Chains A and B, each alone.
Chain A
Amino acid sequence: DAEITQSPRHKITETGRQVTLACHQTWNHNNMFWYRQDLGHGLRLIHYSYGVQDTNKGEVSDGYSVSRSNTEDLPLTLESAASSQTSVYFCASSEGWLSYEQYFGPGTRLTVT
C-alpha cells in the first residue's frame, strides 16, 4: 500500500546544530508540504513543492530549507536549530491535479535544548 513516512519520529538536538527531517511518500504525488504544529497555532506551512526541483516558501520558512531531487522525498533542514523550533513537524503530500486532499505522515517531534 502507498504511504508517507517520516523519520526520525522523535529527535532531541542542541541549539545551533543542523538537523534534517526526512519525508518519503510512495503515492507518486506531485505536491509535498511541510507543516509545524504548535499549541494554539494549528498547522503552519513551512515549505512546499509542486514537483521535482520546485520549492517554495510558506508562512513560517525562516530558518528552514528544503530540496526536491525526486518525486518521493522532501527533506526538511533546520540550518541552525533554535529553541523556538521545538515543535511537531508533519509532512504531507497531495496528487495536485485531480485531487488536492492531503495525506499526512505520522509526524516528527523535535526538541531543541
Chain B
Amino acid sequence: GQQVMQIPQYQHVQEGEDFTTYCNSSTTLSNIQWYKQRPGGHPVFLIQLVKSGEVKKQKRLTFQFGEAKKNSSLHITATQTTDVGTYFCAGLIRGSQGNLIFGKGTKLSVKP
C-alpha cells in the first residue's frame, strides 16, 4: 500500500544545533502537510506544501517539497527547548478527498 517513510525516528540535539527530518512517499503526492505534537498533546497543523519544489519558511522552520512531489523535509535552525515534540509529515494522495498518509514521526528532544 501507499506509504510515507519518515526519518530519523528520534533526534537528540543540544540547544542551538540544527535539526532536519525527512519524508519519502512511495507515490506522487498532491500535497504534503507537516504537524507538530507536543508531549501529551495532539497533532497541530504547521504548514501545507502544494507545488513541486516549493519552499516555505516559518521563522526558524524551513519546509521543502521535492521536485517529483514524493519527498519533503523540515529543517529547524538553532533549536530551542520550545521545539521539543514529535514532527509528522502527512501526504495527501492524488484523487483523495482528504485522507492523509502520515509518516511515523520524528521525536525531537533538545538538551538545554
Contacts and interface: CB of A to CB of B under 8 A. Distances in A.
B105 interface: yes
B108 interface: no
Contacts, number: 54
Nearest to A104: B42
B44 interface: yes
Nearest to B45: A101
A30 B41 CA distance: 24
Interface of B: 1, 6, 31, 33, 35, 41-45, 48, 88, 90, 92, 97-100, 102-105
Interface of A: 30-31, 33, 35, 40-43, 45, 48, 50, 58-59, 90, 92, 94, 96, 100-107
22 contacts: A30-B98, A42-B6, A42-B102, A42-B105, A43-B43, A43-B88, A43-B102, A48-B98, A50-B97, A59-B1, A90-B42, A94-B98, A96-B97, A100-B33, A100-B98, A101-B48, A102-B90, A102-B98, A103-B45, A104-B42, A104-B43, A105-B42
